[in-house]
Chain A
């Protein structure tokens, strides 16, 4: 089982993105679950959620404490103590940012890092400052082992339309991978 944690802000479409991942995994006959953690449901407020993917039925119904993967929708969240808490030693981190890897000053347990300017790509392609579908493209590239990119694209198209698929595709191509020591 792979456990992931999502960090974003109200209005960025974190929950919807995670639900599309769950749908896409289930469409391939596997199992996934997502639990959003709700604080105050307000635009701009930090939100996070927990995603699990497995080949068999997922019985556990708790928060995720030791994620393998972090998906961070907003680089301003990186400084929050909670964001990197519990990240596994060989953790994968996907970040929506304009900044360079050096500027970000990531903690040591972030070994495999993916950077993408999802907000910029989203504004260019879908004309809106909502990076969720774009982040799915970066996610698909980073997590090829457990997400079927074609099915994910299909689901983005059904739910959000063509422009969002395009945006996701651009992110898939443009995302930069860094292996840190």
Chain B
């Protein structure tokens, strides 16, 4: 199980990066970036997991927390990470839209505004 979950985490990171490397469309590349980021969520939550533990939320007012819960810190980190993902995606999509207008293409192979 341990091998599988960490493998999936790094697999998502690498496959996302690979998607950017082979991308023929900037929007596609931006989406692949968010796939790469999904790997970080999986890794963080895997680190904090504990078998037979509950979510770190003690809903009912009366019960004092006595049971074991999974690590809430990695969840807080993952939450922040998700916000970052959404905002970066928004910015990069906005830039891609403008690139499409100026260059009439969003294929990285055909963009040559900067080089050398």
**Are A and B bound to each other?**
no
> Which residues on B are within 8 Å of A, measured CB to CB?
none
